[in-house]
Amino acid sequence: MRYALAPLFCRPWTLNGISPRLIESHYENNYGGALNRLNAISEEIEQFDFGNASDQSLARLKRDETAALNSTLLHELYFASLGGDGRVLPDAVASAITQDFGSVDRWRREFVGMANGITGGSGWVLLTYVPRDGRLINQIASEHDQCIAGGVPVLALDMYEHAYHLEFGANAGAYIAAFMRNIDWSAVKLRYEDAIKVAPPRKLEQKQFADVPSISAEEVREMLKSGAPVQIIDTRPKHYTTKAQDIMEGAVWRDPERLDDWIGTLSKTEPVVTFCVYGFHIGCETASTLRKAGFDARYMSGGHFAWKAIKGPVKLFE
């Protein structure tokens, strides 16, 4: 694969306090350099001699490829972030930022503070949309390959010295201020609109238990904390629990195969939460059976290990 050069997105002569000379050098030497490096690496990978060359050199090439590709993508985003007046945030962006950072001012202080904080080192400061959580977050990417997995950067500030040294010398603060004065917020808005169309990662689907309500481990923890009455039944299979060392605090273990023996001990006026090892099968089935018998039962999604993963308290299982 050969990566094509993207034309310069911003118009350098329109920028306020960032000179055409700086942008030209940056575009030609650093963006162009990253793209050429990327193409050279990608050619090397295509011609890789799997019979003779080592897996270590393949791994090195693939790491270099990620860094060069991200440097290319982020430089394109950086140039596309400039060209506005930095002041007027379109309503959609202002309200998204206010929702996720408290206010535009707080966002700005965090973003600029992060840039000042890495001055003297290098890296990127990015405003990134994370589809999993449906929110924007500021991040530092110290190397080109440290982007948030699955995140969609919508604004990029280049804090590598090559981005400002030519004109600003060591005065990185003046460069950051100049960058902020030139943000093209209407372009950010369009990228944000594209970003929020990205679907979040798929959630676990359990079609066979679609009609059985579940409850998360965090919700169960809240119930216990608040002292709400709840009956928690650990229904991990007997062959599993003979080896198990711990059990959720507040839960009692009941053999799922002998439900008829213990169903009579449950109260119908208090909710029931069942769970098994990972939350795939037995806990759901037990909840389903209990519901049919008239209990207000739900299964805890993720099971015993979800509880452990949120550091829910456990006790010795005897």
- Where do contacts with Fe ion occur on this chain (CB under 5 A)? 30, 158, 160, 163
Shortest CB 30 distance to Fe ion, Å: 4
Work out whether the CA dihedral 203, 207, 213, 218 comes out positive or negative: negative
Residue 268: exposure state from Cβ atoms within 10 A (0-12, 13-18, ≥19): exposed
Helices (H) and strands (E) in the chain, counts: 13, 10
- If the CB atoms of residues 19 and 186 are measured against Fe ion, the closer one turns out to be 19
Phi, psi at 128, each rounded to 5°? -125, 135
**Structure tokens given for 258:** 């002998």
Tell me the sheet residues that pair with 153.
128
Q: Could you tell me the smallest distance in angstroms from the CB atom of residue 69 to Fe ion?
A: 14
Task: For residue 238, give both structure tokens.
Answer: 């007997």
Q: How far is the CB of 231 from Fe ion (least distance, A)?
A: 60
Looking at beta carbons only, is 118 or 163 nearer to Fe ion? Answer: 163
**Shortest Cβ distance from residue 112 to Fe ion (Å)?**
18
Nearer to Fe ion by C-beta: 119 or 186?
119
Q: Closest approach of Cβ 172 to Fe ion, in Å?
A: 13
Amino acid at 34: A
- Residue the block writes with tokens 């002292």: 227
Beta carbon nearer to Fe ion, 163 or 172: 163
30 or 66, CB closer to Fe ion? Answer: 30
Which is nearer to Fe ion, 30 or 139 (by Cβ)?
A: 30
Tokens of 280: 């795939």
Q: Which contiguous run of DSSP H or E holds residue 247? A: strand 246-248
Q: Closer to Fe ion at the Cβ: 71 or 231?
A: 71
- In whole angstroms, give the CA distance from residue 128 to residue 116: 19
Cα–Cα distance for residue pair 187/132, rounded to 1 Å: 23
Nearest approach, Cβ of residue 164 and Fe ion (Å): 9
The owner of tokens 């295509």 is 46
CB of 117 to Fe ion, least distance (A): 18
Q: How far apart are the first and last CA of the chain?
A: 60
